[in-house]
Copies of this chain bind each other. A is one copy, B any other.
Amino acid sequence: MAEQADVMELAKRRGFFFGSNEAYGGVAGFYTFGPQGAALKRNVEAAWRDQFTVKLGNDEIEAPTIMPEPVFEASGHLDGFDDMLVECAECGESHRADHLVEDAIEGIEDAEALGIEAVADLIAEHDLACPACDAALAGEPVEDFNLMFETAIGPGSGQPGYLRPETAQGIFVEFPRLKEYARGQLPFGVTQIGPAYRNEISPRRGIIRVREFTQAELEQFIDPEADEPPIDEVADVAVTLYPAPEQEADDGGYVETTIGEAVADGTIASPWVGYFLGVAQAWYERVGIDTDRFRFRQHRSGERAHYASDCWDAEAEISGNWIEIAGFAYRGDYDLSKHAEHSGDRFTVFKRYDEPKTIEAATVDPDMATLGPEFGADAGDVADALASLAKHDPAAFDADTVTVEVDGDSYTVDSDVANFSIEERTESGEHITPHVIEPSFGVGRTVYALIEHAYATDAVDGETRAYLSLVPEIAPTDVAVFPLVSDDRLVELANEIASSLRHEGVSVAYDDSGSIGRRYRRQDEIGTAFCVTVDRDGIEGDGDATVTVRERDTAEQVRVPVPSLSAELSALFDPESDRTFADLRAAYGAVETTVTTDSS
């Protein structure tokens, strides 16, 4: 298995990612994607968009990262998006109080669920010390720290703004307009890929827990009473599930099943969640996750937000730990209802009935000229109570008098005074608040998992090499082109080949420095599938010029005529073509090389 340190070293040296602002000492929790990492990340985003936006027929939007305070009052982030903070009085270092407790005390796995007071007590009871300076933390206050980055929009009396903690709010808050674009028809889905922020107390685990990251989220809006997912499309997808009951059982384990079966037998409660797990499983396989180090884990009841009726995480095994790389939640009408309540705007769609319905509505029109003199200042409340009674118990008005209670006092009036009546109304439909299913992907974590799962080592020509066995769709570079030596004719031909491949949309690295072995290693380490080498042998003689083409994982080489090169390479990348490197070997013959595989 790849060691995290090896992968991090390779990532930095080869330009996948590295800690930002190192010239200024660095700032924990911020990473920069270098040329290779940015290309890999864009490819992952493009593959996600192809599946979750284009193929599913959804709409993608791009909302600002700064949002005003009322949005987060409604979403609950202003009050509830906290971590437990304890600060060392000695050295001033801040720590996650719940993590300290979990790390130090056997048997405590979810300290956050215990609450602030219990965690403060545990720190005192167990004499926990500051990990930075070893000073005692007993007695230091444990406090909620809000994880949103705050800023001020505009000068002076400007309003508070926050960097969004999830891209989702940029979709929810615009629902009234987005539903117009969907012409008010459920179901519809809206996606977004973009930055999100979380002001971690003490970022750790390198690129896994960072303060600024990229999310790819889909908000699927449905009519819970009418809309079913096309579950048949993914019924046969095989998945490794780790349901909550298995996690809680002493001898619990994974359930190897299919989406169809898991939804049918209730292991996955929501068919919509099941559908997206199936779509996601196929997508992860497409981009090259190692399925032996991948599972869907259900949230246990304590982990789940109160409004989420079912929630599963996609988890990848990274350096021996299972890390969440995506979440799939059935969120009900929580998000849209909250924004409706806080904004006063309408976050509903109009659901038309198949047939118009005739509705009987009981109403009253109390005679205030009678109630006023009789009840004085209480007359208005009595009238309201009569209206309420009419709705809930219209039969009460059948008697000669009706009695209502206001603030514990009973008031009796003649039924005539209430002017009770039943009105008929024809309604063509009703306004319903859609439910939301949210598949939410962490792009950076996915990128990291793909790199680690692709990392392999073997021996070529007697030397150990590391390489990334990335699938072509997400590899940063498609092809590398090398002139073997700096001979004008070789350089010219290499440039021509690089340029013609680039104009065909192939991503090309051109490299003319260092030994050929070193150039191959460099491309192996960034996961370039093929290296084209222009050598003297290839331009001597009468026929077409030839070049060698080397495959990354086998390190095997074949010699291909230049006029066929573009077509051959395109066919190797084309997912709809069956052409493989073995076909090239059969067609053109292999060039000698020695490979010993000792890869995991």
Contact = CB atoms under 8 A, between A and B. Distances in A.
A153 interface: yes
Given A34-B181, A154-B201, A170-B32, A343 B66 contact: no
A61 interface: yes
Interface in A19-53: 20-24, 27-35, 37-39, 41
A62 interface: yes
A87 B20 contact: no
A176 to B, nearest CB: 6
Interface string A172-206: 01101110010101000010000101011110000
Interface of chain A: mostly helix, strand, loop or mixed: mixed
A296 B173 CA distance: 40
Copy total for this chain: 2
Interface stretch (A157-165, A241-249, A271-279, A364-372): A157-165
A306 interface: no
A66 B153 contact: no
A507 B65 CA distance: 27
A20 B212 contact: no
A230 B212 CA distance: 39
Nearest to A55: B502
A364 B459 CA distance: 56
B183 A22 contact: no
A91 B411 CA distance: 50
A92 B157 contact: yes
Given A22-B177, A212-B66, A94 B35 contact: no
A61 B35 contact: yes
A33 B21 contact: no
A94 B155 contact: yes
A211 interface: yes
Contact of A24 (B71, B151, B153): B71
A39 to B, nearest CB: 7
A57 interface: yes
B32 A64 contact: yes
A94 B152 CA distance: 14
B149 A145 contact: no
A30 B507 CA distance: 35
A549 interface: no
Given A21-B68, A31-B64, A57-B510, 4 more contacts: A24-B343, A32-B63, A35-B59, A149-B152
